Amino acid sequence: MIVITRTNGTQIYLNPELIQTVEATPDTVITLQGNKKLIVKDSPESIAERFIEYRRKTLSPFGMQGTGH
């Protein structure tokens, strides 16, 4: 899960596997599977960085997490 901030300032956890697209229109619009759209304060770049970090954590072998390897 990644944290995103809605336009009203509330933070929610989002399963990034559900994201289809992220675009700036100029608001940041996240389109999820099923074409549900979320408008958020976060920039597309910061969402991409969180997704990359999420993938690093989920794809690393379980024995390697937290060991510094």
Query: What CA–CA distances, in Å, run from 7 to 10, 11, 22, 56?
Result: 7, 9, 15, 28
Question: pLDDT of 12-56, one tens digit each?
Answer: 999 999 999 999 999 999 999 999 999 999 999 999 999 999 999
Q: Where are the domains of the chain?
A: 2-60
CATH fold, domain 2-60, is OB fold (Dihydrolipoamide Acetyltransferase, E2P) (2.40.50)
Amino acid 36 reads K
How confident is the model at residue 61, as a pLDDT?
75
- Return the beta strands (E) in 1-69 as ranges: 2-5, 11-14, 19-24, 28-32, 37-40
How confident is the model at residue 5, as a pLDDT?
98
Q: What is the longest distance spanned by two Cα atoms in the chain?
A: 42
